[in-house]
Structure formats: structure tokens, C-alpha cells
A and B are shown apart, each in its own frame.
Chain A
């Protein structure tokens, strides 16, 4: 007991709060001396170029996009897989909703920001996804995932997260204050390794498996490796009633943020209608286009495909690995040259590879396939890509 008291006291002393016995003059001097760094660091030359050469669109047809330089490029750059946003029905539905409800919703869902189209969309989406499900919508896709993860996982829980997850999920994991473990992207062996490690720890700590809530976080299609298929903006999560009701009170993006514009939801409802009617044929077209595109892309010398055969988001990296900085500059140059020749693809260098949450993502070229592209477009895309890769690699 005495020993304990003794040690306790010395320990307390050691850990005691730093007591700055500084005179007022010393404090003043310290304050006067302190100079902060600038608010933001300077951009590197290539980042500067990303900003200044940023493409500004002046027209968009789903199949092509026109930039302010007057170039009309084949669209392999965005996620409008089904070409929904330019469909007449979607526009018509938006126009009608605008005439009824005006534009903004002027408040969060709980504060009279819930308007009929929001309810319709949630019901329709739940129907679309199958029986016994309910859905909840957010006004931005990214906050859907970050809010959802943080609404369910709490301090003390354990999340096992795929390293390649989209930023929204990673932010959600961070905000939840849970313990987070990562496993290598899409690597089931690594996932098993992590899970076994956890089980080992359980045994060591004699911790019951049920003591801690555990989640595995993964994505349908990995954006950075390869969903906005409805031609609208926003996001939806689906689950049973308990899951959705919980979010209505705990999803930060739902509770504290203004709801989506009603016409946006109405557009998504129209998009769902089209998908129900033409979904099968659309998927067929998409997979046909994908096959053709893969044929073109796999013939490009100097690049390797890392994405799955079934993913409409095609991801290509350099065959011969180089330094990160060099790789991303080469790919950026390819992207720019493609654009000048009328092909819009995305080089995922500066803006994604170096983002705060990503540490080990290789730079690559991302090509998305959609249903509105023609056979000629695919051929042309292949030709341009081959030519430009030859120029720079």
C-alpha cells in the first residue's frame, strides 16, 4: 500500500500538467515571436497545371462533351453509365417537378425539408431493391457513405476497411472514432490475415467475440480502381426499417444538412422508371460496349489493366512501374493529349493519388464505358489512346 502510494505520487508528478512558470514578459515575447505558416502550401508546377488547364464544359450530350476550347470529345470520363441525365423523360420529370415545387427545399429533412418527391424516391428505390427493404436518401452521394458509417459504428467498435475504399467511406470510418484496421485492396487473403489477427487478439485478451460490434467496409465498384447511374445527384442507402430509421436520427448528412432539391429526386425517380423498363437491355448494351472497349484497351502497348472484366470503370496503369511522380506526369500528359484529339479520359494522378487519405494508390488512366457510345466511338477511343500512349511511354 505504501509502495503504491509512493509510486503513485511520483508518477503523478511526472505526468502532471506542464506548468509554464513564465513571466508575462516571456509570454509576450513568445506570442510576438510566433509566426504561422501560410494558410495553404504552394502548389507544385504540375498541380498548378491541373488547376489552370482544368476543362470547362460548354456542352454535354452523354456521348460527347464540348469544352470551352471548342473540342468535342468522346465521353469516357464521367460516371453517367446509362446516359440518364440527358434522357428526355428525366428532363421532363425535372421540369414538371420544378413547376410544382420550385428549386430549393430550404431546409433539412426534419425541418420541413421533406417534400413529396423525397418520399416517392425512397419508396421507389426500396421497391427497386427488393422486398422488405427501406431506403433513405441524402443530398450528396459522398455524405451518404460518410454519414452512414459514422451513424452505425461508434467508439469502441471495430471496422475492417478495404484500403481502396472511396474517400467518403474512409472519412466515415474516421469520424466514427472506431478502431479501424485496413486490409489490402480486394485481397481476400489479406482480409483473412487481418481477421485472424483480430481473433488471435481476442484469445489473448480473453475477449468475447460478441463484446465488440464489428463491421467490414467494402464497395461495389471501386471508383479508384475500377455510382451515379440514375443521371441525378445524391445518394441512397438501403436496409430494413430499423437500419433506415436509425439513420433518420443519427446520419449527420441527413439530420443537419438541407435536403436535395425536389426536382433532383423526381429526376432520379424517372431514372428508376427507365431502369425498370429498359434495365435489361441497357445492361446488355453496357456489357457489349465494355467488351468492345476492353478489346481496344487491352491492345494498348505499355499499359496494363487492373480492373475487373465486368467493371464498366476501366483502370489502366503503366506496365513498367516508375517513380510515382514520373508516372503521374506521364499519365497526365496522355490525358491532355487524348483530350486534344477528342477523347475524354481521366488521369488519376495529382488529385486522387496524393489525397490525404490515400497513401499507396498508383496513378492510372480511368476509362468509363456507357450505353450511349457507338461502335465507332469505341474504335476511335482505342485509336487515340494507342497513339498517345506511344507518344509518351
Chain B
């Protein structure tokens, strides 16, 4: 009887991988300490590789913080949940981004989902990119404001939408909108593309509308010094009214921030549900973010941060170039660490994932409903922690899988 080659992997899509750590390899079975299975991690948002060299860069500070603080102090930001570490982090974020002040919350998703309802309400209009993340969509829906969308990353369409909105005013009554806010992301996580920020900024300025930029994936990963999409696109952060980002990705922590002028932040402190109701960020995680920020900014006196940024960019561009050469359809732009590889056919999703996993590559595959059904894709996330050997090894394996799955669409329409 033939052995089912996929027997080991049959449940892989639904079963969690308990032995997985966010470093470049998943390593130990925590129960026995044995090496279970080693895979190259091409799935985590570990852009700057703080999960890899955590022991050298962050461990001392973070474990040290446990001496003084508990894991949580059981309060929200306005009710005794603010420690001096939260304030220090907020000042650091504000300085890093060139804004007056910032607000740090416990969860990236909730940063969008609770801030947007505090900023806008009935009588306001949100103009949102069609491919914005669920957290923005949730926040926008909960706010009660009207919502329009514009074509993904298309500044000309944004302009059309804005013109019509301003001319026609609110539906039925045609009263003018109280305010209009445009929502875009720095890097779109399913596309690997970065925002056309200069053009969007110009349009926003022309029509006097506010601009909200979600840098969940781009902060720390884009720009010469990691200051995100604004730095990369050469846009002054003063032109972006609200900057939002998360600490989950590049900083190896958790939570999110909002950076804006002092008046807006003061308002959000008293009004945004994330600050008023939800638990504050754990002081231990605060320390993790503070430490990784210092490394990125070079305040630790080393060039580790600068090297990480350079490595991330080099690795991303190398990988993107090689994958494209291989005849794969790779979405997104150079310099972006996210590279979706198109599979198109939904039946190839499981095959690609399992063949990769069999060869020791952990990749994320994305199908409906996250993307349209015929736009199924695999997504590779590159990290500064990957070495050139890791990537070369991965490329050989991906090439094998590409042949098996027939996805070299760059060479032939039949793959």
C-alpha cells in the first residue's frame, strides 16, 4: 500500500504549530526539549530580527523590568494603568516621528478600532483605501461616520471621490461634511506595496482633508533610519495628521501607538476606548519596545540598529530579485519586506504550503476571503535575521516547489 505522502501534513492548515517560536527557526519541543522540526521562518513579521538576537539585544532590560513591575497592573491608561515607562515610551515615539505627543495602547488592532470612533462621528466622512486592514474597517464602522472607498493606491481616484464628496455634501440633506479624513496604510500587508504617499499627501492638502496613516508594517522596516513610510517617501510627518503604528512587528513587542499633535492626543487620552477602558500595555512589553527603539535609533551606542535596517533592505531586495528571475509573479515594490507570490488557482494553496513545509520552509498562504478567490497567493516575510545562506537555501527549495505547483507565470501563462 502506498503511503500517503501528505499524512504528516494533513492537518497542518487547521492545527497550530505549538513548537514554533518567532526566531528564524522553530526549534524545541517545550515538553521534552527535543528538536522537533526545523523550518526556516518566512511567515512572521519579525522584520528587524529582534526575535533572533533577543538574548543579546533585549533580554537583560526586559527580564530586569520584571524585578520592578508585574506583567500587568490591572488598570486602563487613565485609571492607574500609566507607569513612567509608558510616558517615556510615548515621548520616545513622538520624538522618533517628529510629532508633539503620542498615545500607546495595548493592542495594535484595537489602536485603530478604538481611535477612529473617537476621532470621527456622524456628519464626518472617512475616505478609505479599498485594501485597508480589518482594524480600520472595524473602527470606521463603529464610528458612525459615512464611509467611501477609493481604488487601491490610486491618488487620481481619491481626488475624484473627494471632489464629489465635497460638492455633494452629506447624503439627502447636502449639508457640507464637518470634516473628511483619508485613511491609508504604509505597507499593505497582503500586497507588499507601499503607499503612494506623496501623491496622497498632495491631494489631501489640496482639498483640506485630514490624513491618517497606518504604519503597522512600515514603521521600523522602511526608510533609511526606520522611520517608516514618511521617511521613505520623503514626506514631512507634519503633513500627516495622525500616524498610527504597531510594536508587534519590527519591535518584537505588542501594542500600538497613535502620534499626532498634542491637542489631538490629549483628546484621545480622555475619549478613545483603548485609553479609557482597555488594559494598559504591560510594563514589561514597554521595556522591550523601549530597548528595541534605542537599538534602532543607535542610542545604545552600537551600529546594530543601522546594520539591521541595511540587512532587511538587502535581504528583501535580493529575495525579490531572485524570485522574479525565477519566473514567479511577485507583487509589491522593491524595498518592501513583504512579498506575495501569486498562486492564482485556489487549489494550489494547500499544495504550495505543504510542499514548502515538507522542505522546511514555513510560509503563509492566503486565500479567500482575505483576497479574491482567483488571486490566491503565498506570502513571504523577510527578516534582517535571515542570512544570505538561509535565503539561498530557501530559493532552491522554492524553485523545486514552483516546478511542482507550476506557478512560473512569468514564463508561461500555464505556469
Interface residues of A (CB under 8 A from B): 18, 20, 22, 27, 30-31, 34-43, 47-48, 50-51, 54-60, 62, 65, 68, 75, 77-81, 84-86, 90-91, 94-95, 98-107, 109, 111-116, 118-119, 139-143, 146, 166-168, 171, 174-175, 223, 228, 231-233, 252-253, 255-258, 260-261, 263-264, 267, 344, 346, 350-352, 355-356
Contact = CB atoms under 8 A, between A and B. Distances in A.
B72 A233 contact: yes
Contact of A42 (B30, B54, B263): B263
Contacts of A106: 22, 44-46, 51, 248-249, 252
A119 B17 CA distance: 10
B279 A141 contact: yes
B317 interface: no
B80 interface: yes
Contacts of B167: 20, 22, 27, 30-31
Contacts of B43: 107, 111-112
Closest 7 CB pairs of A and B: A85-B70, A257-B109, A80-B74, A78-B75, A114-B16, A258-B248, A36-B179
Contact of B110 (A55, A143, A231): A143
Interface string B371-412: 000000000000000000000000000000000000000000
A116 B18 contact: yes
B71 A112 contact: no
A344 B78 CA distance: 12
B70 A143 contact: no
A59 B69 CA distance: 7
B96 interface: no
B109 A54 contact: no
Interface centre among A56, A68, A116, A258 (most CB of B within 10 A): A258
B288 A114 contact: no
B334 interface: no
Contacts of A166: 277
6 contacts: A40-B268, A140-B110, A171-B273, A257-B109, A264-B285, A355-B276
Contacts of B174: 18
Contacts of A95: 63, 66
A60 B270 contact: no
A85 B110 contact: no
Interface string B240-279: 0110001111011110000010011011111101101111
A143 B109 contact: yes
Interface centre among B41, B74, B168 (most CB of A within 10 A): B74
Contacts of B241: 39
Nearest to B212: A39
Given A27-B167, A79-B75, A142 B121 contact: no
Given A55-B82, A119-B16, A142-B278, A31 B207 contact: yes
A171 B142 CA distance: 7
B351 to A, nearest CB: 19
Contacts of A57: 73, 80, 82-84
B177 A233 contact: no
Interface centre among A35, A55, A84 (most CB of B within 10 A): A55
A277 B277 CA distance: 31
Contacts of A35: 208
B342 to A, nearest CB: 18
B267 A111 contact: no
Interface residues of B, number: 105
Given A77-B75, A78-B74, A140-B106, 18 more contacts: A36-B180, A42-B263, A56-B87, A78-B79, A78-B80, A98-B59, A102-B58, A102-B59, A102-B252, A104-B254, A114-B16, A142-B277, A171-B273, A228-B74, A233-B282, A261-B254, A261-B282, A351-B271
A41 B45 CA distance: 36
B285 A346 contact: no
Interface centre among A65, A103, A171 (most CB of B within 10 A): A103
Contacts of A258: 45, 108-109, 246, 248-249, 254
B30 A116 contact: yes
A261 B285 contact: yes
Given A40-B268, A101-B21, A140 B84 contact: no
A265 to B, nearest CB: 10
Interface of B: 16-23, 28, 30, 41, 43-46, 50-51, 54-55, 58-59, 62-63, 66, 68-75, 78-84, 86-87, 106-110, 113-114, 117-119, 121, 133-135, 138, 141-142, 163, 166-168, 174, 176-181, 207-210, 241-242, 246-249, 251-254, 260, 263-264, 266-271, 273-274, 276-279, 281-282, 284-285, 288, 362, 364
Nearest to A224: B277
A65 B252 contact: no
Nearest to A268: B71
B23 A175 contact: no
A54 B82 contact: yes
A59 B208 contact: no
A99 B59 contact: yes
Contacts of B364: 111-112
A84 B72 CA distance: 9
B141 to A, nearest CB: 6
Contact of B107 (A65, A77, A140): A140
Nearest to B363: A112
B284 A36 contact: no
A195 B119 CA distance: 35
A40 B267 contact: yes
Contact of B44 (A91, A111, A257, A267): A111
A261 B289 CA distance: 13
Contact of A36 (B46, B72, B209, B242): B209
